Amino acid sequence: MITEEYFAEHGAIRREVVVSKQRRFVSRIEDISSLDNGSDPWERWWRSYLRGARPTPEGRQIGTLSMVDVFCGCGGLTLGIQEAGRAVGLRPLVRLALDIDRGALDVYETNFAPQEALAADAGSVVDFKIVGWRGAAEFAYSPVAVHPSLRAARGCVDVVVAGPPCEGHSNLNNRTRRADPRNLLYLDAIAIGVAIDAPTIIVENVPDVVNDHSGVVDTAVALLEQCGFSTTRAVLRADELGLPQRRNRFFLVASRAGKVDLEQLVRSFARNGTTLRWAIEDLVDTDADPLMDYVPRLSSENRKRIDYLFDNELYDLPNHMRPACHRNGHTYPSVYGRLRWDEPAATITTGFMTPGRGRFIHPTRRRPLTPREAARIQGFPEWFRFRGGDDRLPKKNALAKWIGDAVPPLLGYVAGFAGLGPLIEERYSIVAS
């Protein structure tokens, strides 16, 4: 079982990732957390990371981690898996990033410098046909990479990562939940991984993907196992892994090299939850960046609602202060809610700058969260840039979408070890304990 340990040192924190009884991978990070020396070294490490410090691996690298990223968005999942790779001595390299959102791809290119970024529909780059469904599913013929860029990656990739659009599975989507054709994009990611002979495939989505009307997860597992993969799956809960946010994501990890049980791995990485104060207390009055420190203008009604919460020391808005459509009963009590310093945040969504779309009002300031605060809660470090290469300011709704839709990198970090463990065991003769 892969585990990790953290040790405080003078001015730094040391992390040791234990892959086997014989092999430990060591990294250091400058301790800029501002937490006292009695604090948990794990908390000091990750707070320093969020505030901008970068880990430095000790010892030589053992190899390269070559990736293809499908439905890449701005790269939250990639960031986490790359950090897992660095933690075990692998130098990350993105051969191909694919997303239909050109703006998100620009942000991705700024942060990861992929060899190629392709603005395209995932279904247009691979040809495949499925016969049967759920446990009886199989490919009618081996999936074929039809785009030249994807064909060029065949046999040269260690891991395919994918975060297919999750709106069709989300409980927020009451109209088409679990019967949305977008849900089938999940299988595009599987077909792409098989088409380019990737030894590892990691796919994430919302937990309700397992309840999809079409059975996409069971179908994906059947297809993968037919192609020689071992699979493991689990729901990763951000607050149980140390992030100050109640956000759950479902991960499916497939490897041709063997299996590290993801649920067992999650238990070994579990941490006491951190708080909103731990994550963003240093950002309370920051206004240096017109993009990331932007505070949206509020309607007069929303200003009154926020004032009412603070003037009456409340965290939930009473019905008489809500819009008329809420006053006779509603199912979203957190809407117009105020966050608490000493608890995790609710799930950060694309509506985090709008009080009427969730519990997004700052604990001590009469405003919603800023993009910088939301990104920090998601687990993005200070050095991550939400701009394209030309440094133009993106539109605010695009920025909110990239941040709110992103996979918290820490979840990708943990799930990444389930895929990388068998890979390095096979490739570098490291026998897992």
211-225 confidence digits (pLDDT tens)? 988 899 999 999 999
- Position 326 scores a pLDDT of 74
- Position 182 scores a pLDDT of 57
Say which residues have a Cβ less than 8 Å from residue 336's Cβ, sequence separation at least 6. Answer: 302, 305, 309, 317, 321, 322, 355, 356, 361
- Position 60 scores a pLDDT of 86
- Position 329 scores a pLDDT of 65
Which strands make up the sheet holding 200-205, listed edge to edge? 117-119, 90-99, 63-70, 159-162, 200-205, 248-255, 230-237
Cα(198)–Cα(369) distance, integer angstroms = 40
- Position 166 scores a pLDDT of 65
| pTM of this structure | 0.93
Query: Are 318 and 333 spatial neighbours (Cβ–Cβ below 8 Å)?
Result: no
Specify the domain boundaries for CATH 3.40.50.150 within the chain.
62-276+407-427
Q: Which residues of the chain have pLDDT under 50?
A: 168-180, 431-433
Say which residues have a Cβ less than 8 Å from residue 397's Cβ, sequence separation at least 6. Answer: none
- Residues annotated catalytic, as ranges: 166
One of 3.40.50.880, 3.30.565.10, 3.40.50.150, 3.40.50.1820 is the CATH number of 62-276+407-427, namely: 3.40.50.150
- Position 190 scores a pLDDT of 97
